[in-house]
Amino acid sequence: MPGRGDRGREKQKPKDAKKTLRRIIKYLSEYVWIVVAFAILAFLSNIGNLMGPRLAGKAIGATEAGTGKVDMDTVVHYAVLMLIFYVGSNILSFLVNIGMARVGRRIAQNMRRDVFGKLMKLPVGFFDRNQAGDIISRVSYDIDVVTMSVSTDVIQIMTSIVTVVGSFVMMLIISPPLVLCMIFTIPVSIIFTRRMSKRTRPLYSKRSAAYGVMNGFAEEMFTGQKTILAYANEDNITERFSKINRGAAEAYRNADSLGMRMGPTIGMINNFGLAAIGVGGAILYLFRIIGLEQISSFVLYSRKFSGPINEISNIINEIFSALAAAERVFQLLDQPEEAADIYDAKTLTNCQGHVEAKEVSFGYDPDKTILHDLNLEANPGETVAIVGPTGAGKTTIINLLMRFYDVNSGEIQVDNADARSYTMQSLRRSFAMVLQDTWVFRGTIYDNIAYGKEGATMDEVVEAAKAARIHNYIMRLPQGYNTIISEDGGNISKGQKQLLTIARAMLYNTHMLILDEATSNVDTNTEQQVQKAIRSLMKGKTCFVIAHRLSTIQNADKILVVDHGDVVEQGNHESLMAQRGFYYKLYASQFE
């Protein structure tokens, strides 16, 4: 486990914010008419808000200077109008917020659909290079950040623009001289916002990356919790998490502490403008150029004018955070997909199970070859065992057979044709596969066994379970085959999970079978029974077996002995033992 938690730690700056924004807008464009309708409602809502200061000024102006008399009828009239406009405005604003929240959820759904669909098309190598937690962070946290920004900030920006422009126009109508008192704050606010945005944008990108690292480490440690406890390594893991957590908290603090300075600073700049309005208004009032009605309305409009500017500065921070998160999502969507089928790819049907590797060389890193000039042939119905020390290249051979990776040179043939000449799906459907790392999902036992065969009947599932020697165990469960397995099979043992996956492979009607240490989690007695069941069910089918316990593959038709990427010996058990070579030493070492 050490070392993996450090992957993905690099902090990436947004490379092209405009391109990222265009791609977000593309998701939004699907609901363009809905957004336009909400924009119109938001515009009407803001018009109602903009009427408030004008009506308030009219009510304040309903006085007779010097006499202390107030025209209450006029005051009540304008107060009622204010109430009507404000209530109507708030109702429209409520409808807009609810509607945009739904649009945001739809966009989140579409983005997650695209991301998940993309994940299903990515090569195995992508998952080997990236932490599951970081991928999950992109699917959940980053998309949430994007859609929250879309659902709230899009309309907020539009309404802020309407409010700023409308307030400015109203102030010009009321008193152009007073506008000059506050106009200096606008360029200062714009310059400050632009400079701060250049500093905050990369910090939000670092924050998203730091959260991906933290989620990846947490997911990794939760998966290995039993191992951590078994080695009493809790303190070390806690310390490592604390370090990563501090890094994430620091990235969060750096982004938000700088971003949060924008609002108060813009507010302070606007307050200078308000002070200038107070001085200028008093002077103009003394010279009877304007009255209390105009001053009060102007002050209220100035607050409406400056308020959205403060909000826009905060919205800009949220947008930069969303752009950083969106870029991580789009980076995943832009990953190269698994190699596409060739133009005239054939569908592999009626597979006979003849497999041949000719001069195959391969390396996960192009500069480091793992397999060298591999040659093997498996005739239909043969069982081919692949043995050798750890790291010899056994699982790599299986990866190439399944085309999880493509060979660097040479050729793998299936039924006398290059495996790349078949469609990927039909080639893989010709194999059933049982791995050492068992995988079951939350669902019934029936669902887990029938996973690979659509429409499998209960009788077929039971027959496969009996062959895998797990039927009796299933029948002892309270609900039998309808018993729910928890996520990742937490409520059953590893051996039982392995037997379920073996039953799944037995039910899957294929011409070839791959067993990668498939019986490593079952006891010796059960293993012998399962081996017999596999041999009887796979009669006439090609079977590739990776096994460290050489006693389990003595009956294999052909045994490949692999060491450091080379096939050093081939033959059956008796012939290899007679050679007293590498295989003999491996076999003897297990019984010393």
Under DSSP, is residue 343 helix (H, G, I), strand (E, B) or coil? coil
Single-letter residue type at 105: R
Our measurement of the distance from residue 479's CA atom to the centroid of its chain's CA atoms, rounded to an integer in Å, reads 35
* Mean pLDDT of the region 351-374: 85
Name the token pair of 254: 């750096």
What's the rounded Cα separation, in Å, for the pair 191 and 204?
Answer: 20
Sole residue written with tokens 């008193």: 175
What's the rounded Cα separation, in Å, for the pair 334 and 429?
Answer: 27
- Are 261 and 196 contacting, i.e. CB atoms less than 8 angstroms apart? yes
Give me the residues paired with residue 368 across strands.
365
Single-letter residue type at 467: A
* H or E element, residue 93: helix 72-119
Residue 256 burial (CB < 10 Å; 0-12/13-18/19+)? Answer: middle
What's the rounded Cα separation, in Å, for the pair 331 and 122?
Answer: 13
The 10 Å Cβ neighbour count of residue 514 is 22
Model pTM score: 0.67
Whole-number pLDDT of residue 519: 67
491: phi then psi, degrees, rounded to nearest 5: -100, 10
Reported as a single tens digit per residue, the pLDDT across 388-437 is: 887 778 888 888 888 888 888 889 988 888 888 888 888 888 888 887 77
Residue 38 burial (CB < 10 Å; 0-12/13-18/19+)? Answer: buried
Q: What is the largest CA-CA distance in the chain?
A: 124
- Is residue 3 pLDDT above 50, yes or no? no
* H or E element, residue 321: helix 292-333
Under DSSP, is residue 563 helix (H, G, I), strand (E, B) or coil? strand
Whole-number pLDDT of residue 391: 76
Q: Which of 229, 8, 237, 227 is nearest to 132 (CA)?
A: 8
Q: Which of 355, 189, 194, 369 is nearest to 270 (CA)?
A: 189
| Confidence bin at 7 (pLDDT 50/70/90) | very low
Reported as a single tens digit per residue, the pLDDT across 310-337 is: 666 667 767 777 888 888 888 888 888 8
What's the rounded Cα separation, in Å, for the pair 477 and 473?
Answer: 7
131: left (phi over 0), alpha (psi -120 to 50) or beta: beta
DSSP summary character for residue 12: -
What's the rounded Cα separation, in Å, for the pair 184 and 434?
Answer: 72
Whole-number pLDDT of residue 229: 66
Q: Which of 166-180, 320-334, 571-585 has the lowest mean pLDDT?
A: 166-180
The 10 Å Cβ neighbour count of residue 329 is 24
* Mean pLDDT of the region 249-277: 72
* Mean pLDDT of the region 115-139: 81
| Confidence bin at 225 (pLDDT 50/70/90) | low
Q: Which of 82, 74, 24 is nearest to 51 (CA)?
A: 82
Reported as a single tens digit per residue, the pLDDT across 482-533 is: 888 876 656 677 777 778 888 888 887 788 888 887 666 666 666 666 666 6
Whole-number pLDDT of residue 232: 67
- Is residue 4 pLDDT above 60, yes or no? no
Whole-number pLDDT of residue 310: 61
* Mean pLDDT of the region 220-229: 66
DSSP summary character for residue 399: H
What's the rounded Cα separation, in Å, for the pair 548 and 519?
Answer: 10
Query: Average pLDDT over the chain, rounded to whole?
Result: 78
Sole residue written with tokens 């506008």: 179
Reported as a single tens digit per residue, the pLDDT across 537-554 is: 667 778 888 877 777 778
N-term to C-term CA, the chain: 31
Our measurement of the distance from residue 40's CA atom to the centroid of its chain's CA atoms, rounded to an integer in Å, reads 34
Residue 178 burial (CB < 10 Å; 0-12/13-18/19+)? Answer: buried
Reported as a single tens digit per residue, the pLDDT across 267-297 is: 677 777 767 777 777 777 777 777 777 777 7
Our measurement of the distance from residue 276's CA atom to the centroid of its chain's CA atoms, rounded to an integer in Å, reads 51
